[in-house]
Amino acid sequence: MPRRGNGVPVQGIERNRKPSVSKGLSSNNNGSNGVIKKTAVQRLYEMCVETFAPPGTVPSPDAIQKLRSFLDTIKPLDVGLKEIASVQDISTGPVGRPNMRKGKGKAKGQGQGRQTPNRGAGFAPPITYVHVYQCDSFSMGIFCLPPSAVLPLHNHPGMTVLSKLLYGSMHVRSYDCIDPTDSQQISAPPQSRLAKMKDDTVHTAPCEPSILCPRTGGNIHSFTAVTYCAVLDVLAPPYSDQDGRHCSYYRDYPYSRPSEDGSTSDEDQSYVWLEEIESPEDFLVRGGQYMGPVIEA
């Protein structure tokens, strides 16, 4: 994910204003007894702390479902976004190739700031990443995608991921890798792993948040924007090169077993080979400024 704090405006972010409140409190949402209520993003943060802290905590299925239910209530305005009803101008800023190989606590796709001023025809438009919060136990961030932007196939090693589509439509393709002991009779191509498709559909907000677990739920996935869209991610724990949680990219290609008549079975069509690759050349990310309520950590 791109580096925080470069002040780049983002499609869908309310511009030219300071974060609405500090210390996670709502300035215009008082309780019945005059008690100032916590903002939605502050409550989300506290629920993440309860679910994932301290580092290494393995949350129960009930705790994950409780967090998912609350994440489902988050609206774009809760995190400083406004829904996109039509194409709007986007202020341009630095874009860079993402870097997931450096340092502890670096978020997925964090940019190194390499300038890419001219992009040729056929390149996917850059994605904007808005950093919300990060600690050793979890991170929160928002991907803002213009139409046709692609977040390529990537993994989440040893991580639980909850994703909430805040607005718009996106095509989601996800896979779970097959345990090598379950596929030991199958000869794999070099640098490839067998995987089974979990999702290959278009999601349109409002829809329920998705849950990816370390080994299930479509831990390797990609997003392709159909319209302007934004997705709020909670990753636990965050990517960390030092702790062995590297972000790897993949290319998928068909899997088939030889048959007597040369046909491919329906079962085979749900499997693919995943080949690990370098970060795609057309995957560029820029940073956006978080303009939602301040979180009191």
pLDDT at 274: 93
List the Cα angle 216/222/225 in 5-degree steps: 135
The full 3-state SS of 184-231, as one line of letters, equals CCCCCCCCEEEEEEEEEEEEECCCCCEEECCCCCCCEEEEEECCCEEE
Q: Above pLDDT 70, what percent of the chain?
A: 67
pLDDT tens, position by position, 16-56: 344 444 456 664 455 556 667 899 999 999 999 999 999 88
Q: How far apart are CA 257 and CA 252, in angstroms?
A: 16
List the Cα angle 92/227/225 in 5-degree steps: 80
- In this model, does residue 232 exceed pLDDT 50? yes
pLDDT tens, position by position, 146-182: 999 999 999 999 999 999 999 999 999 999 988 766 5
pLDDT at 83: 72
Q: How far apart are CA 262 and CA 211, in angstroms?
A: 37
Indicate the pTM of the whole model.
0.78
pLDDT at 2: 36
pLDDT tens, position by position, 48-102: 999 999 988 889 999 999 999 999 999 999 999 987 643 333 333 455 555 543 3
Instruction: Assign domain 88-116+124-288 one CATH number from 2.30.30.40, 2.60.120.10, 1.10.10.10, 3.40.50.280.
Output: 2.60.120.10
pLDDT at 217: 78
Cβ neighbours of residue 268 under 8 Å, at least 6 residues apart? 255, 256, 257
**Token pair in block for residue 17:** 């204003």
Looking at the chain, how many residues does it have?
297
pLDDT band, residue 266 (cuts 50/70/90) = low
pLDDT band, residue 193 (cuts 50/70/90) = confident
Q: How far apart are CA 289 and CA 297, in angstroms?
A: 19
